[in-house]
Amino acid sequence: DTGVSQDPRHKITKRGQNVTFRCDPISEHNRLYWYRQTLGQGPEFLTYFQNEAQLEKSRLLSDRFSAERPKGSFSTLEIQRTEQGDSAMYLCASSPLNTVAEQYFGPGTRLTVT
């Protein structure tokens, strides 16, 4: 399978714990994006990378959230001190360098904070 992959697919954690998600983009894609989606809503942009550089962050991305893409390949999204409001589907997408290219999404990681 050459699409975007995410791991884990599901994560249940207790409030206050830290969680980390991984995204592997399509191999030739330079750009990688993180979105968050809650029930009945469209995805909301969190941040994006071009190669290893984090070029844009949403104000939705509080200090408890951090994302990395250390070698310009896979990316990780960490949430520290999780809150119940963090429960959502976390989606990763990738695209080639073309500035108007469509983004291809992975299957998502469903986070439930109890």
- Binding residues vs another protein (CB under 8 A): 4, 31, 33, 35, 40-45, 48, 55-56, 58, 91, 93, 95, 99-100, 102-108, 110
β-sheet bridge partners, residue 56: 48
The residue (of 44 and 81) whose beta carbon lies closer to another protein is 44
Q: Which residue has the tokens 């999404």?
A: 105
Instruction: Tell me how far, at minimum, the Cβ of 98 lies from another protein, in Å.
Output: 10
Backbone φ and ψ for 75, nearest 5 degrees, come out as -130, 155
Burial letters 65-93, b for 16+ CB under 10 A, else e: bbbebeeeebbebebeebeeebbbbbbbb
Instruction: Tell me how far, at minimum, the Cβ of 69 lies from another protein, in Å.
Output: 14
The residue (of 75 and 103) whose beta carbon lies closer to another protein is 103
Instruction: Tell me how far, at minimum, the Cβ of 6 lies from another protein, in Å.
Output: 8
